[in-house]
Structure formats: C-alpha cells, structure tokens
Amino acid sequence: METGPSEEPSGRKESQEICPPGLLVFAGSSEQDANLAKQFWISASMYPPSESQLVLRRDSSQRLPVARPRRSRGSENSNSQSSHLVSNKNRNIFAEALKIQESEEKVKYLQKAKTREEILQLLRKQREERISKELISLPYKPKTKEHKAKKVVSESDKEDQEEVKALD
C-alpha cells in the first residue's frame, strides 16, 4: 500500500465519498481488490457521530439570544425610581439579616464563654476540696524514710579504680 494521490486507470480522480484523494493507493493490485480494500478501510475508520461534530447549519446557532430590556423614555424615570426603591429595600433587608445573624453569633459565643467559665470554676472547687482533704489526712500518713542505697562495688571495678589512681 502506498500513500499519494490516487487516480483510476481512466485518468479521473476517485470520488470524495469513497476515499479522500491522496490517502490510499493500492499499487500492483487488481481494481476489484483495491475497491474492496478502500471500502474496508472506510468502514473500519471510526468517525465521530454527527451529534458531536461542531458544525453550524444555517438554521442553528450556538448561543441563545440575549434578552435586553426595552424602555420607553416616559417610563424611564418611574422605572428608575422604583428600581432605586427596590434596591434600597433589598439593602435594608440585607442589613437587618446581617445584624440578626451577628447578634445570634454573639449570643452563641457568650453562651460558650459562660459554660467554659462554669467548667473552670467547678475544676477550681474540686482542686480546693482535694487539697483540703490532703491537708486533713497529712498528719495521719506514715512518714516515708529515704533509703540511701549502699553502693556495691565489684572487685573488678575496685581494680579498675586502683589502676586509674596508679596512672596519676
């Protein structure tokens, strides 16, 4: 199989439907074998479905038209005043909602701080009770003697120490 412009024996180029020109050339094959091979390769090639190809037709467009507001000059003033009132109203509603949200968060944080303070106070109280109980029971606890451990020096350590002293 060779690549290059293909021509039939009659001198005219093959039609675009069977194979694009210049893609397939069958040299040394009979005309029937060449046509069968072309049909095979055309059917074996995987063309994308027509739905996935981005081709605009005359009756189709890619974007929807944008809706533009139509205004008449007489209604422009009343329309701008009403939109101004609506925007102010929206701002007021938004500001109120923001204030309510902030106050709720503040209450929530104050509640957390209060519970934290209660927990710390309870811990302090428990610590003081524990210390007072320890102080009450302190005179009745047995006194622990500190044991001084005698150093047991092995004979090999003694010999090592004597050798070091002898070196000095």
3-class secondary structure, 25: strand
39 contact partners, CB below 8 Å, separation of at least 6: 18
Average pLDDT over residues 118-143: 91
DSSP assignment, residue 145? P
State residue 118's pLDDT score: 96
| Mean predicted confidence (pLDDT) in 72-82 | 59
Residues 103-118: pLDDT tens digits? 999 999 999 999 999 9
pLDDT of 16 strictly over 90: no
Compute how many other C-beta atoms are within 10 angstroms of the C-beta atom of residue 19.
18
pLDDT band for position 100 (cuts 50, 70, 90): very high
Structure pTM?
0.32
pLDDT at 120 over 90: yes
Q: Is the pLDDT of residue 32 over 70?
A: yes
Reported as type and span, the H/E element at residue 115 is: helix 73-137
Inform me whether the pLDDT recorded for 134 exceeds 70: yes
Nearest alpha-carbon partner for 37 in 22, 18, 14, 21: 18
pLDDT (tens digit per residue) in 64-76 = 667 777 765 555 5
Q: Is the pLDDT of residue 37 over 60?
A: yes
Q: Is-contact 8 14, C-beta < 8 A? A: yes
